[in-house]
Amino acid sequence: MSRKFLQKDSLSRRDFLRLSSTAAGVAFLAACAPAAPSGAPAADSGAAAPSGDEEVVVEAWAHWEQGLQWLQDSMDHYGFTEAHPNIKLNQVVAPFAEIHDKMLAACASGVGLPDIMRVEQGRAAAFFKGDDVCFVDMTDLIGDKMNDLVLGSAVDYWSWQGKIYGIGNEVNACSLAVRKSAFDEIGVETPFATWQDLKDAGVALKEANPDMYVTSFHDLSDGDFQIMLFAAGGLMFDSDGNFGGMNDQGKEILEYMRSMIHEDETAMIAPVTGDSTWSPPIYWEAFRQNQIATCMGAPWHNGKLGRDDKIGPGQEGEWFLQPLPSGFGDGIPTATHGGTSVSIPKGAAHPEEAWMIIDHTHLTEGVLEDAIQRGITPSYKPVLDAPELNEPYDYYDGQVLGQFYKELANQMPRIYQSPWAPEFHTAFQNIVITPVMQEGRSDYDAMFDELGPELERLKTL
């Protein structure tokens, strides 16, 4: 696709104000959060549109540099800057915890709000506590383009009570990366159709190669459980934000992981260290040392294992991606995991221009800029056939990842967010996940009996 800005897809200031208003008036005049002081300033959304020559500086906050730089590069490379030379992007980057805390503080006070916030899905819940959400509802702004999005990844993490407060640009369709060579050597057929097939392959692999595990499961994160729960058609949180994994389906998944670690001894606990509980360097080193033969996750995790920050050189042509196996619940071949939004605070000084940038970078071919830079698969479906996304990947023996992820995207399950998500995740990890993985506990009813009251207590804080 050529890099040009699709002018017809932009919203005018008049359209933005019309879509963002309510019966009581323009939404930007609302207070940002219940804790905001009564005198907190609000944006004057009724101001006259700036002339084409008047410079407008849109301020954006994020927790990593590339997360904002690709927006600027998309504007430059796909014609936005040429069409709107007066709109500039001011990038503000700070460490993960610091920038999200700064966002929450700005929302609570109504002071110093940027025009765009990039909110990581794990921190989105904190903005949904209370009666008034800090962000603009984007439902009407997205409009008919809703049909062009993979909604399970693009909007669900940043939605609450039927309103959409952010857009993510990554499909994040989970799959299973398989080191085919390890199974070819022992005569085990791949891909794995069911989770039981993977379990059986682990036994065969252990007999042939005692130092290699068929997979790994995390003991300090519930990410593996969540992926498998979504793929089973379950919900981590229901529509009211309540925890959804405390049931027979959850027990079945927990027992599968526990038995592979503690009975079959075919799965290992994922090696992590310190506060990095998902995939620090020590995690990838286990793959380099031929200790783990499969890797489950989203494209940002296992999509390109040949990268230097993943497994890296040495196993070219030995891996491939397959859909998640079936065998639990609905047997959906994928799930969503992770992502970061672009969201507009209600008190933003330049909400119209912020939306123009978001529309361009997330709802036109301008989203390809991030795909080119990071290798992500966009959540905007009209670009999924772009040549940039469909080049063979040598590390996966020439597999065309764009086509693979497009097929998964069409089957992406929908999910719900919860205002208590971080607290619920922590409680579930401490009371259930860690004891199951580390100690081999299988008294699930007892653990759930302990978890239930704790979840209710957390909702009252």
pLDDT value of residue 43: 37
Euclidean distance between CA atoms 326 and 320, whole angstroms: 18
Whether the CB-CB separation of 429 and 222 falls below 8 Å is answered with: yes
pLDDT value of residue 274: 85
pLDDT value of residue 44: 37
pLDDT value of residue 39: 31
In-domain check, residue 141: yes
Query: Same domain, yes or no, for 308 and 366?
Result: no
Query: Same domain, yes or no, for 325 and 356?
Result: no
Query: Same domain, yes or no, for 228 and 267?
Result: yes
In-domain check, residue 38: yes
Query: Same domain, yes or no, for 114 and 226?
Result: no
pLDDT value of residue 275: 87
Query: Same domain, yes or no, for 327 and 344?
Result: no
Q: By residue range, what is the domain housing residue 184?
A: 175-335+415-459
Query: Same domain, yes or no, for 318 and 344?
Result: no
In-domain check, residue 155: yes
In-domain check, residue 359: yes
pLDDT value of residue 21: 39
Length of the chain, in residues: 461
Number of C-alpha atoms within 13 angstroms, CB side, residue 316?
8
Query: Same domain, yes or no, for 423 and 355?
Result: no
Cβ neighbors of 280 (< 8 A, separation 6 or more) are 272, 273, 274
Query: Same domain, yes or no, for 185 and 122?
Result: no
Query: Same domain, yes or no, for 233 and 195?
Result: yes
In-domain check, residue 237: yes
Domain boundary among 383, 405, 439: 383
Of 221, 223, 239, 240, which is closest to residue 231 (Cα–Cα)? Answer: 223
Cβ neighbors of 117 (< 8 A, separation 6 or more) are 60, 61, 62, 103, 135, 341, 342, 343, 344, 345
- Beta partners for residue 213, in sequence order: 292
pTM (2 d.p.): 0.87
Residue reference for tokens 């920038």:
99
Residue-level pLDDT, tens digit, the chain, 461 residues: 444 333 334 444 444 444 443 333 333 323 333 333 333 333 333 334 455 679 999 999 999 999 999 999 999 999 999 999 999 999 999 999 999 999 999 999 999 999 999 999 999 999 999 889 999 999 999 999 999 999 999 999 999 999 999 999 999 999 999 999 999 999 999 999 999 999 999 999 999 999 999 999 999 999 999 999 999 999 999 999 999 999 999 999 999 999 999 999 999 999 999 889 999 999 999 999 999 999 999 999 999 999 999 999 999 999 999 999 999 999 999 999 999 999 999 999 999 999 999 999 999 999 999 999 988 999 999 999 999 999 999 999 999 999 999 999 999 999 999 999 999 999 999 999 999 999 999 999 999 999 999 999 999 99
Of 121, 445, 412, which is closest to residue 254 (Cα–Cα)? Answer: 445
CATH of the domain at 12: 3.40.190.10
Query: Same domain, yes or no, for 66 and 160?
Result: yes
Query: Same domain, yes or no, for 191 and 231?
Result: yes
In the chain, the number of structural domains is: 2
In-domain check, residue 399: no
202 burial class (0-12, 13-18, 19+ CB within 10 angstroms)?
A: buried
pLDDT value of residue 50: 52
In-domain check, residue 410: no
In-domain check, residue 1: no
Query: Same domain, yes or no, for 276 and 221?
Result: yes
pLDDT value of residue 52: 62
99 burial class (0-12, 13-18, 19+ CB within 10 angstroms)?
A: buried
